[in-house]
Structure 1
Amino acid sequence: MEIDIKAELVRLAEPEYAVFSRRLLPGTENVLGVRLPLLRRLARRIAKGDWAAYLDTAGDGSFEEVMLQGMVIGAICAPPQEVLARTAAFVPKIDNWSVCDSFCSGLKLARTHPEPVWEFLQPYFEDPRPFAVRFAVVMLLFYYIDAQHLPRVLALLEEVHSDEYYVKMAVAWAASMCYAAFPDETLPWLQAARLDEFTYRRTIRKICESHQVNAEQKSHLRALERRRQG
């Protein structure tokens, strides 16, 4: 059964939720106000049908329309090269943190085919588009913080140089998760890394907010931050 996507999104929209969402998405004006669980449910319906026709013709007129496309790409059953081709076509549409992070969380191909996805991500770390870089960094933190990839993840994070707030925050988020999972391995890197001052401080803050990090580790990191500032 064909779905009138725009009509369905309008039916699911909540005007009050749209106002709330716009506050969280600076610069994103056309927000209908559809909650993410409802978008995911719709994406799964589309993925079970003629998803290729949908992706080939989908409109980009609202935040939800773009978000839905990303969710469909994550939900389709297709060969890895097809999913990566659809991903490459989608990345230029990412223009806010919410679409970026939700897309990454649903792109489970990285879990089943980690090395092809890893190679696919590499050019995006040097992409001039801030949200393309954030896409690559957030993919690291969702799928590659493990013993096998940790040294390469830390090396990539250190080489991300950007003045963009959402890139810096993604690097801090990823670095904090590396520490939470592998504190002994990450601490020397954190002490020596060439992170800019803003990203370094945000990394320490995020680590100290983590329930995975104990009080002694947090105290040591705060002292480390004070010494760096001094």
Structure 2
Amino acid sequence: MMLSREKWDKLEYIEFLEYMKSMQDIKYRDFNKKLIPGTENIIGIRIPNLRKLSKEISKGNWKEFLEVAEDTYYEEIMLQGMVIGNINSNFEEVLYYIKKFVPKISNWAICDGFCSGLKCTNNYKEYMYDILKKYVCSENPWEIRFALVMFLIYYVDDEHIKDIFEYCNNIQSEEYYVKMGMAWLLSICFVKYEEETLLYIKNNNLDDFTYNKMLQKIIESNRVDLEKKNIIRSMKRKTRRY
């Protein structure tokens, strides 16, 4: 099917959706349903295949594609995020599509996949950071997760490491995927800034669940040596059992 086209309308999109369904892998669909709880409308298309589709679409009129694209299936939303990640334009235009997409994030896979594809962040780092500072203070857990994952991919550096610790201390959320996002982010901080993160581990405002998950992710990292893992293991908090 020709995807690098100069025009997209609703009828063409419906035909494209049928083409997507022809790529279905039932076993992969069932696997994803277990991996992404609460997400039912999954076709079952492997990520490399979605990336190929997004690259072809991005060679043509990707703006019209994003206008007609629908949100019924998990893969439709994932594909939109990939196309946005391929945009080669000024920051204002990229930001317009990012802001339209973020409200569609409803699971960790779409969130994290979208973040990893936004390589343009490296070209507009401080502009993007100003936007992320607003998302990380949101009451929407998926907006917070979006900011946290963006931080861990693009902002664990000299300039932002202290800010990251402060944000993690101030986030008040009982949402599982926010807590896991913080734990993941802080484990990356430890890998890159061991001394600074160790000081943070010794003095922070994290709840017990997030704190222990952070330690667990550090211990699981292949980039942390055994001696350091043993130190981290000894810092685990004991939690009450009822």
Shorter chain as normaliser: what TM range?
over 0.9
Match of residue 153, structure 1, among 146, 155, 164: 164
- Out of 63, 68, 71, the position equivalent to 1:57 is 68
Alignment of 1:51-130 (within 5 A): 51-130=62-141
Question: Unpaired segments of 5 or more residues in structure 2?
Answer: 6-11
Q: What letter is aligned with 1:16?
A: K
Equivalents in 1 of 2:30, 2:150: separation in Å?
Answer: 29
Q: Distance in 1 between matches of 2:150 and 2:38?
A: 24
Structural RMSD (CA):
1.5
Aligned residues: 229
Residues 1:170 and 2:184 aligned together: no
Structure 1 residues 134-188: Cα deviation after superposition (integer angstroms, max 9, x where no partner):
0010000010111222111222222222100001000000000100111011111
Q: Which 10-residue stretch deviates more, 14-23 or 86-95? A: 14-23
Range 86-95 or range 5-14, more displaced:
5-14
Q: Which runs of 5+ in 1 are unaligned?
A: none
Which residue pairs with 2:193 in the alignment?
A: 182
**How far apart in 2 are the matches of 1:58 and 1:86?**
13
Alignment of 1:10 onto 2:21: yes
Q: Distance in 1 between matches of 2:132 and 2:223?
A: 28
Partner of 1:223: 234
Q: Percent identity?
A: 41
Q: Any conservation in 2 of the 1:150–1:178 contact (CA below 8 Å)? A: yes
Instruction: Tell me the TM-score normalised to structure 2 length.
Output: 0.91
Displacement of 1:229 in angstroms is 6.0
Contact kept in structure 2, 1:48 and 1:76, CA below 8 Å? no
Q: What's the CA shift string for 1:42-81, capped at 9, x where partnerless?
A: 1111111101111111100100000000000001112111
Answer with 202-211 or 147-156: which moved more.
Answer: 147-156
Query: In terms of mean alpha carbon deviation, does 15-24 or 93-102 score higher?
Result: 15-24
Higher helix share: 1
What SS does the aligned partner of 2:157 have?
A: coil
- Structure 1 distance, partners of 2:120, 2:88, is 10
Read off the aligned partner of 1:155 and give its amino acid letter.
E
CA distance in 1: counterparts of 2:187 and 2:226, whole angstroms: 15
How far apart, in 1, do the equivalents of 2:47 and 2:101 lie?
Answer: 18
CA deviation profile, 1:101-122 (whole Å, cap 9, x unmatched): 0000000121111100000111
Distance 1:50 1:116 in 2: 26
Partner of 2:9: none
